[in-house]
Structure 1
Amino acid sequence: MKAFNEKCIDTPENFNNVHTFLRKMVTLTGQLQTWEFVRFEFWNRYEAPKSADPNFMENNAHLWNNEAGEITGLFISESGGGFFSLIVHPDYPYLADEMVTWTRNVWGEGKKKLNTDCYPYGLEVQALLDHGFVQDSHIGNTRRYDLVHTEYTLNLEEGFYIWCMAEGADEESKGELIEQIFSPSDSSPVKVEYWRKTLPSYNEELDLSVVDEKGRHVAFCFGFVDHDKGIAVIETIGTHPDYRQRGFGKAVVTACFLRLKEQGVTTAFITGFSAEANALYQSLQPVEITPMHSYVYEG
């Protein structure tokens, strides 16, 4: 089957098509890909607009389509440097070689180093190796949680509570805590935009925090759901530095799991990179752990 490739122009139609493709990939493969619908929403709403390049999306996202116009392959670079990702439709495994060739010779032209992260089952892995990439390091793990057959119990210290944004939690202070944890070097006095609430998959009932008696955020997580597929990705999980090692991270994710179960979601995924994050996510009874490795090419 013939495939055509083209730049991914920043249009609502292309956004919807890529979003649909990434959601469908979970059903087609039974596994999470290195890019899923939530990561794409984050990129489109937050990462891409930060770039000074007015054509950032078309310069750093590329599509392969079949004759019917359906997406069969996706190239995407999160920040436009040397890092990229490839997603290959399982019915078109032969595209992996063409996609890696394009990445090296077109997008990667002039770049001294290219790198990507892959799961072991990624269709792109062998093509990367064939084109001179080498496996570098184990960088993280994605865990799958069975919300139907796993029992979860919420435990919280006295004086702390679970709040969601639908119940009137303070989004400004929560946004500031997220920035404090994930962007500690950014001391800008500019008010933090609470941009996650603009994402298509955002649900204020799954925008959860552990708060103290004064309503101050101690730990948080966000659950993003694809109800058609019955899956959720829990993304952006953190605990205030002064409140770590007290079970608050586990509590807020447990609360998210319980709410997801109430909504009929059967499966949740969480990806962790640091040792601390992996220890927390392992304590939540995953049924599957998939490692992620970095692959590097130096021309």
Structure 2
Amino acid sequence: MRRRDYEGPDDLRLMQDLVQRTWSPRSRLHIGDVAWERSVNFGRRGDTWRTALWEDDGQVVAWGWAELPDHLLLVVDPVRPEAAAEVIAWYRALVPEGACSVLEEETHLVSALEAAGFHPDDEAPFFTHHDMSLSDLRTPVVPDGFTLRHVRPDEVEKRAAGHRAAWSDLAPSKVTDEDFAAVMSTWPYRPELDWIVEAPNGEFAASALIWLDEVHGVGLVEPVGCAPEYRRRGLGQAVNLAALHALRDAGGTDARVCPRGDDGYPSARALYQSIGFKPGARTRLYVA
């Protein structure tokens, strides 16, 4: 087994290939998680993250993504659990004291973290996987004057502005037009699965982006947002339902979303459950 550093977009596809090849309902990450997190951070300085891949016989069997100064994201093929120890050792060489969030059902990762001296932080915020079948979807409804539609490829700037408006409550969003251009050019992005509510003045009031894994038929909803001045009008529910209908039309059979599961931020969880998502496994933060 050989480790090497991340070299660019071709390696992103290899990382996603590992996620897709090993995916199950008990997996922490979906190919859309990796696509979104890498592309939306397109302009981030290289010294604030490190990524490495572990290969054996020409196949990626594990990867680690260290978001410095203190968080590790990792994926390890469950049939190669010994690779988890190598990823964690690489991370500890970068950050002696750090943290790693895994799904509680990823026992091969939990065991490796505990063996390396990590312990669960039961007071930390966590996320809960929510899943739903697309067999029975309600019809989305928006107020008069508002329009539901998918994004066009030439609307990068408006799409980025809509995202910033929805995600700047506590501090200004750092997502630039260039970052969102990277999102919209990253596999498996599809404009027909990127839905918005257009306000009467032309602003993008709410949005929901879905990433479809065609192999498994599962679409990940990530991210969803609504600008503060347009909230409490049902736009978040409507844009999600419209995107889910588009997901079903594209061949998807199921959808997943991963909102906060603790009581520190309950509104997103309530929105998704009102649409029909059902809670399942949760993440757990391990710290060293």
TM-score, length-scaled by structure 1: 0.83
Instruction: Name the residue aligned to 1:130.
Output: 115
Instruction: Name the residue aligned to 1:38.
Output: 32
User: What secondary structure is seen at the aligned counterpart in 2 of 1:65?
Assistant: strand
User: What secondary structure is seen at the aligned counterpart in 2 of 1:208?
Assistant: strand
User: What secondary structure is seen at the aligned counterpart in 2 of 1:283?
Assistant: helix
Q: d(CA) in 2 for partners of 1:120 and 1:272?
A: 15
Which letter does structure 2 place at the counterpart of 1:20?
D
Deviation per CA, 1:36-95, whole angstroms, max 9, x where unpaired? 322322344342541153xx77xx1122222x2212222112x33210122121211233
Which letter does structure 2 place at the counterpart of 1:152?
R
Aligned residues: 278
CA radius of gyration, larger in: 1
Q: d(CA) in 2 for partners of 1:285 and 1:6?
A: 42
User: What secondary structure is seen at the aligned counterpart in 1 of 2:139?
Assistant: coil
User: What secondary structure is seen at the aligned counterpart in 2 of 1:97?
Assistant: helix
User: What secondary structure is seen at the aligned counterpart in 1 of 2:127?
Assistant: strand
CA RMSD of aligned residues (A): 2.5
Distance 1:138 1:167, change over 3 A: closer
Instruction: Name the residue aligned to 1:159.
Output: 145
1:275 Cα offset (Å): 1.3
1:152 Cα offset (Å): 2.4
Distance 1:152 1:118, change over 3 A: same
Q: d(CA) in 2 for partners of 1:249 and 1:12?
A: 32
1:167 Cα offset (Å): 9.2
1:48-197 maps to which residues of 2 (within 5 A)?
Answer: 49-53=43-47, 60-66=50-56, 68-77=57-66, 79-104=67-92, 106-108=93-95, 111=96, 113-122=97-106, 123-136=108-121, 137-148=124-135, 150-166=136-152, 170-183=155-168, 185-186=171-172, 192-193=177-178, 194-195=180-181, 196-197=183-184
Distance 1:43 1:158, change over 3 A: closer
1:258 Cα offset (Å): 0.7
Q: d(CA) in 1 for partners of 2:26 and 2:87?
A: 21
Distance 1:282 1:5, change over 3 A: farther
Does 2:185 align with 1:198?
Answer: yes
Contact 1:224 1:234 in 2 (8 A): yes
Q: Report the identity percentage.
A: 22
1:212 Cα offset (Å): 2.3
Farther off after superposition, 257-266 or 131-140: 131-140
1:204 Cα offset (Å): 1.2
Distance 1:69 1:207, change over 3 A: same
Contact 2:6 2:53 in 1 (8 A): no
Q: d(CA) in 2 for partners of 1:135 and 1:125?
A: 9
User: What secondary structure is seen at the aligned counterpart in 2 of 1:154?
Assistant: coil
